[in-house]
Amino acid sequence: MSKNKKQPAPERAETEPTIAAGGGSAWPFVLLGVVLFGCFLHVENTGGAFRADVFQAGMKNSPPQADEPPEVKSYKRGARLYDACAGCHQPNGLGQPAQNIPPLAGSEWVFREKPDRLIRIILNAVEGPITVNKVTYDNPAMTPFRDALSDDVIADIATFIRGNAGWGNSAGFVTPDQVKAIRDATEKMGTQKWRVETLQAID
Ligand code: HEC
């Protein structure tokens, strides 16, 4: 009856957990280190594509600095001039789908290598139905800006919309010369709106 008292089990029980605890407790820290390192790598990689100049330029209240490149100055002017469009397309560029107004953020009509379609749309507006991001809109509310806005103003607005990283757009800036060339080439349009098919044939 008393032989159970002499079993060596308690001795093993004292040593084994000590070893197990020592070996086991390091793993959560190793794992945490790996996860944190992964996060740093991710920020490094994705952060590299983030354009601080464009982001800062997006802040409406920072006035243009003398040493800034012309496209950054143009972007900042465009951020204010965009008021001409914001009533419909909204300050966040998302439009108002419920009111049949399409977004400029992420729009395939805006976010292209060449600004030729966007310049044309600002000059003469467009007659729907027009599909943006797989949603079709048909609303005659947009009017031509040909007579209302100068080449400089259209270039600044286009630069702002195309380069707006916060909207997911990152296309190059637009110059007044580019606007003037298209304005002159399409002069006979007058205040007639573009047909979607005509614009689709433009790069
Ligand atoms: C009065 C409202 C209104 C104003 C102001 C307005 N738009 Fe629009 N815009 C529209 C509507 C509505 C459409 C869709 C046209 C259709 O359905 O026929 C559109 C279409 C567009 C499109 C093509 C589709 C897309 O979403 O990419 C672009 C680009 C665009 N507008 C840019 C501008 C810019 C730039 C300005 C300012 C200079 C502006 N719009 C001002 C209402 C407006």
36 vs 114 pLDDT, higher one: 114
Whether residue 2 is predicted with pLDDT greater than 50 in this model: the reply is no
The pLDDT, as a whole number, for residue 67 is 86
User: Any idea which of 26-40, 69-83, 144-158 has the lowest mean pLDDT?
Assistant: 26-40
Distance 146 CA to ligand 1 centre (A): 14
Q: Whose CA is nearest to atom 18 of ligand 1?
A: 128
The pLDDT, as a whole number, for residue 61 is 56
For 59, 81, 176, the CA distances from 52, given in Å and listed in that order, are 11, 21, 24
184 vs 36 pLDDT, higher one: 184
Whether residue 50 is predicted with pLDDT greater than 50 in this model: the reply is no
Distance 36 CA to ligand 1 centre (A): 44
Compute the mean pLDDT over every residue in the chain, rounded to the nearest whole number.
82
Distance 6 CA to ligand 1 centre (A): 90
Q: What is the mean pLDDT of residues 130-153?
A: 97
Whole-structure pTM value: 0.75
Nearest to 81 by CA among 143, 155, 147: 155
Within 10 angstroms of residue 34's Cβ, the number of other Cβ atoms is: 10
Cα(193)–Cα(128) distance, integer angstroms: 10
Q: Which residues line ligand 1 (CB under 6 A)?
A: 84-85, 87-89, 101-104, 107, 109-110, 118, 121-122, 126-128, 130, 132, 137-139, 141-142, 145, 157, 161
pLDDT classification of 135: cutoffs 50, 70, 90: very high
Is the domain spanning 53-200 CATH 3.50.50.60? The answer is: no
Whether residue 183 is predicted with pLDDT greater than 90 in this model: the reply is yes
The pLDDT, as a whole number, for residue 64 is 65
Domain positions in the chain: 2-47, 53-200
Q: What are phi and psi of 3, to 5 degrees?
A: -70, -20
Most confidently modeled range among 11-20, 28-37, 102-111: 102-111
Amino acid letter, residue 124: N
- Token digits of residue 181: 């060339």
The pLDDT, as a whole number, for residue 65 is 73
pLDDT classification of 78: cutoffs 50, 70, 90: very high
Long-range contacts for 52-57 (Cβ within 8 Å, ≥24 apart)?
A: 54/163, 54/164, 54/165, 54/170, 55/165, 55/166, 57/163
Distance 164 CA to ligand 1 centre (A): 17
Whether residue 108 is predicted with pLDDT greater than 80 in this model: the reply is yes
